[in-house]
Amino acid sequence: MKIGILSVQGAFIEHEHMLSSLGAETFEIRQLKDIEQPFDGLIIPGGESTVQGKLLREFGLFEPIRQKIIDGLPVFGTCAGLILLAERIENDERTHLATMDITAVRNAYGRQLGSFNTEAEFSGIGNIPMTFIRAPFIESVGNNVKILATVNEKIVAASQGNQLVTAFHPELTVSTDVHSYFLNMVKNSK
Ligand code: GLN
């Protein structure tokens, strides 16, 4: 199984390490030629969604990646990745890939509470540690979206078909469960 990790900005190395520890092959996506090879899944990491969106456009990656997701490529977006996939962003005029029927709120916990660790139930996995860094949450979801986790009554993980998003950073915790969950999605999509 080969997973491409968008590596134009943000916390991509941690995803690489976690996926490698689970036996998946990974490669970094920085330019158009990187996605010419066949691959089975895509990670959009945390970082700064506005910067990643801008770089995706500048590097000519935006449309090809968007098309692959629409065509069914399994994708896992964490934090900024969630924002990039959201069809609607409550407090930003721009949207980016906009492939998932969710409304995201950026920097949703305010400055003081923006970064915290907690533990909560993730549907189908159980209790896992969750690390939030100036995180978004999901304010509302469309009919085809499955809610996978909530923290303080806010949605922090969801899926829709081939797309999985978390507002938190599982790659910064000791638990590999969410990455295994994604690799299962990739396996089942074949
Ligand atoms: N605050 C960032 C944004 O709006 C997301 C933070 C993160 O990915 N850790 O894009």
Which atom of ligand 1 is found nearest the CA of 169?
9
Q: What are phi and psi of 176, to 5 degrees?
A: -95, 5
Q: Quick one: pLDDT at residue 190?
A: 82
Q: Quick one: pLDDT at residue 109?
A: 84
CB of 56 closer than 8 Å to CB of 25 = no
Q: Which residue has the tokens 């409550």?
A: 90
Q: Quick one: pLDDT at residue 111?
A: 67
Spatial separation of the C-alpha atoms in residues 185 and 136, rounded to whole Å: 23
Q: Residue 81: helix, strand or coil by DSSP?
A: helix
CB of 81 closer than 8 Å to CB of 46 = yes
Ligand 1 binding site (Cβ under 6 Å of any ligand atom):
46-49, 79-80, 83, 106-107, 133-134
CB of 140 closer than 8 Å to CB of 154 = no
**Nearest residue by C-alpha to atom 8 in ligand 1:** 46
Q: Residue 166: helix, strand or coil by DSSP?
A: strand
pLDDT in tens, the chain (190 residues): 999 999 999 999 999 999 999 999 999 999 999 999 999 999 999 999 999 999 999 999 999 999 999 999 999 999 999 999 999 999 999 999 999 999 999 999 876 667 899 999 999 999 999 999 999 999 999 999 999 999 999 999 999 999 999 999 999 999 999 999 999 999 999 8
Q: Quick one: pLDDT at residue 110?
A: 75
Structure tokens at 120: 């909560």
CB of 3 closer than 8 Å to CB of 34 = no
**Nearest residue by C-alpha to atom 5 in ligand 1:** 80
Spatial separation of the C-alpha atoms in residues 128 and 176, rounded to whole Å: 9
- Residues classed as catalytic: 79, 169, 171
Distance 73 CA to ligand 1 centre (A): 23
Distance 190 CA to ligand 1 centre (A): 31
Give Dmax (Cα) for the chain: 43
